[in-house]
């Protein structure tokens, strides 16, 4: 008996090493923004936890990485990110470090529906004609510029491909499959688990989509103003109407001419509500709406950086946004 116990104890370290080796096979994953982190966390499930670079409350467009995050990026097996259009700071980091892992730009992934800034009306018609995400020919029908009159005022105006693609739940479903496939390629032993997790998450997104469509149906056709042009995918998908944006880009504050235009729009009752945005001072929005018949809504958080990070964030992000819009727009 003593000899059996001794053999068992001597074997224990070897077992621990084997367990550690098995765990090490799960890829080290780094993500850029909360929505991507949430989708990756759902696919990985109990096998591992992805890291996220953007900190709580951080601005996804202008974040600055810490040295420890650069090391995590360098050691990652897989890097899931939207792409340089959304997080140029990560693009610079990817170019500046010797990566050992594979960066996967989801905005460029197969099956992703992409729109250009200013395509709300046409994008809605095309996108909802069967959700044909494999046909992106409509992108070539639009010139790569901001709506007429906007780019002249603000050199940082949004042009080209709109990177806020996670706000379309159909893209989230496509990306769950992409994430699962990349993880399975890096970790074949757990491929079935990644696939099952992605399928379950996709089903949950579909159910949420139907729920949000019902929530937002009563406010279709009620125009509203947002802080910056980040919501095209969301309004296209749910048939909503944006009357205008206060800021034409992410890198600069709106000029006096733009503020005057928005003020006239509000005075003319061309919008039901105006919404401030997380990570931006609401005082400007409050000043614009004062004395007008337009209602001031709660702050929108398109990146979800103020929500608790984790697998539940993606659903919470869309649910919160839909609820915020519906609460103000419902008369």
Q: Is 32:311 a contact under the CB 8 Å cutoff? A: no
At 127 the pLDDT is 44
pLDDT band at 32 (very low <50, low <70, confident <90, very high): very high
At 296 the pLDDT is 97
Higher pLDDT, 91 or 275: 275
Across the chain, mean pLDDT equals 82
At 90 the pLDDT is 86
Residue 129, SS3 per DSSP: coil
Q: Is 148:64 a contact under the CB 8 Å cutoff? A: no
Higher pLDDT, 15 or 189: 189
Section 64-75 average pLDDT: 81
pLDDT at 140 over 90: no
User: Which stretch, 14-23, 144-153, 172-181, has highest mean pLDDT?
Assistant: 172-181
pLDDT at 262 over 50: yes
CA-to-CA distance for 301 and 314, rounded, in angstroms? 12
**Which residues does 294 contact at the CB level (< 8 Å), separation at least 6?**
225, 266, 269, 271, 272, 273, 274
CA-to-CA distance for 222 and 273, rounded, in angstroms? 9
The full set of domains in the chain, from first to last, is 27-106+171-207 (3.40.50.1980), 120-131+139-161+217-329 (3.40.50.1980)
Give me the phi and psi of 243, to 5 degrees please: -85, -25
Q: Percent of the chain having pLDDT more than 90?
A: 60
Higher pLDDT, 24 or 77: 77
At 251 the pLDDT is 56
pLDDT digits (tens, 9 = 90+) for 156-201: 345 789 999 999 999 999 999 999 999 999 999 999 999 999 999 9
pLDDT at 248 over 70: yes
Give strand pairing partners of 244.
225
Which residue in 212, 235, 232, 208 sits closest to 222, CA to CA? 235
Q: Is 319:212 a contact under the CB 8 Å cutoff? A: yes
Instruction: Give residue for tokens 């702050």.
Output: 299
Higher pLDDT, 20 or 90: 90
Instruction: Give the sheet arrangement for strand 242-247, strand by strand.
Output: 242-247, 224-228, 273-274, 295-296
Instruction: Give residue for tokens 């901001």.
Output: 146
At 92 the pLDDT is 82
Section 120-148 average pLDDT: 39
Give me the phi and psi of 28, to 5 degrees please: -80, 120
At 74 the pLDDT is 87
Ranking 206-220, 240-254, 276-290 by mean pLDDT, the lowest is 240-254
At 133 the pLDDT is 43
- Residue 308 burial (C-beta neighbours within 10 Å; 0-12, 13-18, 19+): exposed
| Predicted structure pTM score | 0.81
pLDDT at 101 over 80: yes
CA-to-CA distance for 320 and 18, rounded, in angstroms? 44
pLDDT at 130 over 70: no
pLDDT at 144 over 80: no
Q: Is 259:286 a contact under the CB 8 Å cutoff? A: no
């Amino acid at each position: 008996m003593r000899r059996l116990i001794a053999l068992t104890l001597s074997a224990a370290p070897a077992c621990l090493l084997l367990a550690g080796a098995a765990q090490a096979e799960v890829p080290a994953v780094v993500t850029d923004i909360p929505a991507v982190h949430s989708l990756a966390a759902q696919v990985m499930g109990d096998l591992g936890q992805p890291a996220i670079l953007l900190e709580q409350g951080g601005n996804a467009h202008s974040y600055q990485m810490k040295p420890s995050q650069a090391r995590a990026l360098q050691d990652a097996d897989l890097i899931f990110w939207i792409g340089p259009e959304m997080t140029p700071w990560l693009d610079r980091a990817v170019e500046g470090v010797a990566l050992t892992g594979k960066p996967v730009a989801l905005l460029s992934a197969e099956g992703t529906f992409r729109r250009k800034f200013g395509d709300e009306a046409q994008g809605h018609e095309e996108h909802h004609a069967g959700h044909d995400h494999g046909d992106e020919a409509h992108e070539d029908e639009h010139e790569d510029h901001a709506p007429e009159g906007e780019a002249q005022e603000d050199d940082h105006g949004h042009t080209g491909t709109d990177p806020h693609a996670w706000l379309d739940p159909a893209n989230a479903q496509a990306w769950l499959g992409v994430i699962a496939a990349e993880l399975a390629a890096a970790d074949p032993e757990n491929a079935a688990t990644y696939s099952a997790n992605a399928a379950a998450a996709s089903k949950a997104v579909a159910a949420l989509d139907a729920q949000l469509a019902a929530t937002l149906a009563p406010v279709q056709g009620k125009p509203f103003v947002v802080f910056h042009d980040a919501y095209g995918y969301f309004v296209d998908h749910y048939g909503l109407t944006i009357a205008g944006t206060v800021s034409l880009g992410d890198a600069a504050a709106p000029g006096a001419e733009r503020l005057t235009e928005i003020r006239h729009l509000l005075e003319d009752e061309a919008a039901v509500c105006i919404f401030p945005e997380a990570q931006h001072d609401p005082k400007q929005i409050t000043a614009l709406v004062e004395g007008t018949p337009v209602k001031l809504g709660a702050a929108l958080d398109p990146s979800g950086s103020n929500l608790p990070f984790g697998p539940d964030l993606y659903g919470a992000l869309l649910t919160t946004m839909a609820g915020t819009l519906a609460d103000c727009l419902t008369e």
